[in-house]
Amino acid sequence: MVARRKRNPNGSGTVTKRTDGRYQAAVYVPQPDGTVKRKYAYGKTFDECDQKRRELIDRAKGGIPTPTRDMTLGQWFDYWLEVIVKPNLAHRSYETYEQAVRNHLRPLLGSKVMVKLGVKELRGDIQRLAQAKGAKTAKHALRVLSAALTAAMIEDIGLTRNVAKLVHVRATTDSGKSWDAVTVLRFLAAARRLTVYYPAFLLICLLGLRRAEVCGLRWENIDLDNRILWVEQQRQRTSAGTIDVAPKSETSKAPLPLPAQCIAPLRWTRMRTAMLRERAISLGRPWFEDPDGHVFISRTGHPLLPSNLYLTMQRIIRIAGLGKMNLKGLRKSCGTLLVHLGVHPRIIKAVLRHSRIATTLDIYAEALDPDVVEAVAQLDRLLRQPARILQLEVAHAGSEVD
């Protein structure tokens, strides 16, 4: 009697040998949109292919969606944002990616099958986006698409190249403007007169702190006696509310020397916090007991929000008549002034805590523009003196005769 072939249990998938000698595993897996589709995996040997089959089954049992080759870009964007971006990147980064997908990429490419997207087709779509929304918007959308497709290549769904890296958009780079020393001094003088958050602006101008880092600064991060400041966290708005999170990169975490002129304003800030607390308690007014001990607080004891610091700066520059500027430009002014003082770029990188030296060199190169202008002016003056040119020619001819 011939023994009947034992069937695999439902949901365990199959492994078969192809005509080309490779092995193929097939497993029904859940999709990001809630449906179930058959997913194929390939291997050179049976054991390799069977291992991939087991991994797909484990993902399915864990409720983790597994994309397939016929997935559209719209379906992939949903999966990428929720499973890859949201758990692993900062909330602000997630918001930036989600807005680019919602406003530009999904309407433009959402219905297209991801593995069938070609360079020519994508180039035409991006050019139309650039014409409708501007080159900078199209370039940003292309960067987000490139990040999404790079993640798709890792997921082993059949995508073998990132077509977004083969499409280019020509857009001007706006690195932001910065102030000179006189304008920075005028701003600090106005801030000292107009706001109690003058010490916060002083830290941005002298140490190049980011606004989120200033708002996330705690008293435990400051040693006034030894004049040291540690950047350990930043204040960010997340899905859980406005909380302290780790800096974006490890290089952002660093001890910095505290300038001497910051000591007295910071001591005054600590006295102001104690005074506000005592007055609120004595008068029965609402007061928030900050367990983390933030340096800069509101009148009710809550940590200062980065958005409020920005609004305060805008009020100051409007009253002082200093023109347009934001907190990022104020931080950049710190780097520009260090360049004019002759500080080496690597030292400036350590002060501003850039993750890449290229970012610092961009500031360095921009700050040297006046030197370039002066060099061209000297050449212009030289070429405006025919007699001097004649002397140079005679001297050159004499050197050749010798």
State whether residue 68 is helix, strand or coil: coil
Pick the more confident residue, 10 or 135: 135
Q: Which residues contact 125 (CB under 8 A, 6 or more apart)?
A: 108, 109
Cα R_g (the chain), whole angstroms: 30
Tell me the CB-side half-sphere exposure of residue 233, using CA atoms within 13 A: 19
Contact 38, 20 (CB under 8 A): no
pLDDT (average), residues 367-376: 57
pLDDT at 308: 93
Backbone angles phi, psi at 175, to 5 degrees: -85, 0
Structure confidence by residue, pLDDT tens digits, 205-234: 888 898 989 999 999 999 999 888 988 888
Highest mean pLDDT: which of 10-14, 156-160, 274-278?
274-278
Pick the more confident residue, 335 or 12: 335
Taking 70 as the threshold, does the pLDDT of residue 34 lie above it? no
pLDDT at 317: 93
pLDDT at 372: 56
pLDDT at 12: 66
Backbone angles phi, psi at 157, to 5 degrees: -115, 15
pLDDT at 155: 72
pLDDT at 302: 92
DSSP letters spanning 261-330? GGHHHHHHHHHHHHHHHHHHHHHT------TT-BSSB-TTSPBPPHHHHHHHHHHHHHHHT--S--HHHH
- Range with the poorest average pLDDT among 57-66, 184-193, 263-272: 57-66
- Residue 350 and residue 50: Cα distance in Å, rounded? 50
State whether residue 141 is helix, strand or coil: helix
pLDDT at 311: 94
CA 201 to chain centre: 22
Pick the more confident residue, 63 or 75: 75
pLDDT at 1: 46
Of the chain, the percentage scoring pLDDT greater than 90 comes to 28
Q: How far is CA 360 from CA 201, 210, 353, 355, in A?
A: 21, 15, 9, 9
Q: How much is the mean pLDDT over the chain?
A: 82
Taking 50 as the threshold, does the pLDDT of residue 172 lie above it? yes
